[in-house]
Amino acid sequence: MNTIKELIDNLPFRASFYDKNSNLLYSNNQSDGSFFPEDEEETLPQWILEQLQSSSEKSLHLQVPTDSFDQILMQSYQAIYNQEKEFVGVITYIQDLKPILSSYLKESGQAIVGWSDVTSGASISNHLFDE
């Protein structure tokens, strides 16, 4: 039994590996969590490769649209390089950012709030409470 393959096969969301020619090597065929689930693409789109190559981190993160506020799904693409700094492929995976973000906010004592301009007062005047 291939333990690594079994672990990847049982991840809660999709994980896929592409070779240096953008051909799909392996996918665990899990859900992508989106509104309109799709099969994994046999070749990685050229625009993703271009974004990865131009990124200083050699990664790309895109939000997956969902119909629920219970999850914040992100699809990450990571370019993989060998020890000689040669491009060997791409791993892509989907994960729920919400538990990670919740843990960070709890540990740091921070919160996410909607944008407001608190330095200059109310943005819209309301005369209902003027006396």
pLDDT for 74: 92
Question: What's the mean pLDDT in 1-12?
Answer: 82
In angstroms, rounded to a whole number, what is the distance separating the alpha carbons of residues 95 and 73?
Answer: 6
Specify the pLDDT at position 61: 95
* Residue-level pLDDT at 80: 96
Domain boundaries, the chain: 3-109
CATH of 3-109, one of 1.10.287.610, 3.30.460.80, 3.30.1660.40, 3.30.450.20: 3.30.450.20
Per-residue pLDDT tens for 42-98? 899 999 999 999 999 999 999 988 877 888 889 999 999 999 999 999 999 999 899
pLDDT on residue 58: 96
Q: pLDDT tier at 4 (50, 70, 90 boundaries)?
A: confident
pLDDT of residue 85: 93
56 SS3 class? coil
Where do runs of H (alpha helix) occur along the chain? 3-9, 46-54, 97-108
Gap between the Cα atoms of 62 and 83, Å rounded: 27
Looking at residue 62, its pLDDT comes to: 93
Which one-letter amino acid corresponds to residue 19?
D
Exposure string (b/e) for 46-78, b if CB count within 10 Å is 16 or more?
A: eebbebbeeeeebebeeebeeeeeebbbbbebb
Bridge partner list, 74: 63, 95
